[in-house]
């Protein structure tokens, strides 16, 4: 059974001006997401600046989110690491807190072989009983989960139930979808790119793990729900309407623009942690204009 179908938000981690995590603001963002039809909260992913959170902060963000969501929608915890033992530790702790699933990124910097990826993900999955989503984002990690490898992992560990595909390579996703069909296994595909939601759905995907959902949760949910309801033409129109905003949400490295966007909306999610820097003014103006054009209320 799928962890969720639809649009899950890769939620930001709001910070206070001193750089500490702002849990009061995180609670506000969670409520905003649930009120606006988000289908799942993904906490401590790339967009949540997980790479600069301490282990204590990382786990507290997961625990806090699970408690605040209180079962209203699923919570998926980002628990990946380039160290297998660290990923096992984060994953087992998240399971204890009551996470509905885990999002586990490929090991970054190490550049594991395909055999290494099988061993890495199998060990993590075997350490828990809850579902695991593989996270494939080679542009950040320098490591690509090949379709055959994803299938091999899923067949070895039955609780590896899905993949977040952020390669941007539609041909690779099509190959993976074909293998899933050929092997007749239950293995879900989520888009990891907001500009490719509809293409991924057309290949059998069931949703998106989204940056866009931070500022446009209802609209992102509608792109997916409309497609799954059978109105593919309308869904494609909604996807195309969002393209300029999506482009500007990635005009600088994520999550720099999306945090700037939330601050423009008045959410006061605070600064970024180094080495991420504040958005350049010229790019901020482009983002502001794209938000206004899309119909998002900007107060700053």
Q: Which of 164, 190, 227, 259 is catalytic?
A: 164
Within 10 angstroms of residue 85's Cβ, the number of other Cβ atoms is 11
**238 half-sphere exposure, CB direction, 13 A CA radius:** 21
Q: Is 27 helix (H, G, I), strand (E, B) or coil?
A: helix
Q: Rounded CA gap, 167 and 191, in Å?
A: 9
Which residue in the list 25, 68, 135, 294 is annotated as catalytic? 135
Specify whether 294 is catalytic: no
Nearest to 235 by CA among 249, 250, 246, 219: 219
Residue 135 falls in the annotated catalytic set? yes
> β-strand 40-43 against 75-78: which pairing, if any?
parallel
CA distance 197 to 221: 11
Q: Are 145 and 163 in contact (CB under 8 A)?
A: yes
Listed as own residue / partner, the contacts of 19-25 with beta carbons closer than 8 Å and 24 or more positions apart are 19/271, 19/273, 21/53, 21/57, 21/60, 21/61, 22/269, 22/270, 23/60, 23/64, 25/267, 25/268, 25/269, 25/270
Q: Which of 246, 173, 167 is closest to 206 using CA atoms? A: 173
Q: Answer whether 157's CB lies under 8 Å from 122's CB.
A: yes
Q: What residues act catalytically?
A: 135, 164
């Amino acid at each position: 059974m799928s962890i969720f179908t639809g649009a899950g938000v890769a939620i930001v981690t709001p910070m206070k001006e001193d750089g500490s995590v702002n849990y009061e603001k995180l609670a506000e963002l969670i409520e905003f997401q649930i009120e606006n039809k988000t289908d799942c909260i993904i906490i401590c992913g790339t967009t949540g600046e997980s790479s600069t959170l301490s282990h204590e902060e990382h786990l507290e963000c997961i625990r806090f989110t699970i408690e605040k969501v209180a079962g209203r929608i699923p919570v998926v915890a980002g628990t990946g690491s380039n160290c297998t033992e660290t990923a096992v530790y984060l994953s087992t702790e998240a399971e204890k807190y009551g996470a509905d699933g885990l999002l586990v990124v490929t090991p970054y910097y190490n550049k594991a072989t395909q055999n290494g990826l099988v061993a890495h993900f199998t060990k993590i999955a075997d350490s828990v009983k809850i579902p695991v989503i593989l996270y494939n984002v080679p542009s950040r990690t320098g490591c690509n989960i090949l379709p055959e490898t994803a299938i091999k992992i899923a067949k070895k560990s039955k609780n590896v139930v899905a993949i977040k595909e952020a390669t941007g390579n539609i041909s690779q996703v099509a190959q993976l979808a074909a293998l899933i069909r050929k092997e007749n296994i239950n293995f879900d595909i989520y888009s990891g790119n907001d500009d490719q939601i509809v293409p991924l759905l057309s290949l059998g995907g069931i949703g998106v793990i989204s940056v866009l959902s931070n500022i446009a949760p209802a609209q992102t949910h509608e792109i997916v729900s409309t497609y799954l309801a059978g109105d593919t033409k309308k869904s494609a129109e909604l996807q195309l309407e969002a393209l300029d905003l999506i482009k500007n949400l990635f005009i600088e490295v994520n999550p720099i623009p999306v945090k700037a966007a939330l601050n423009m909306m008045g959410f006061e999610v605070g600064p970024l942690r180094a080495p991420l820097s504040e958005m350049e003014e010229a790019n901020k103006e482009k983002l502001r204009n794209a938000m206004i054009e899309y119909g998002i209320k900007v107060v700053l």
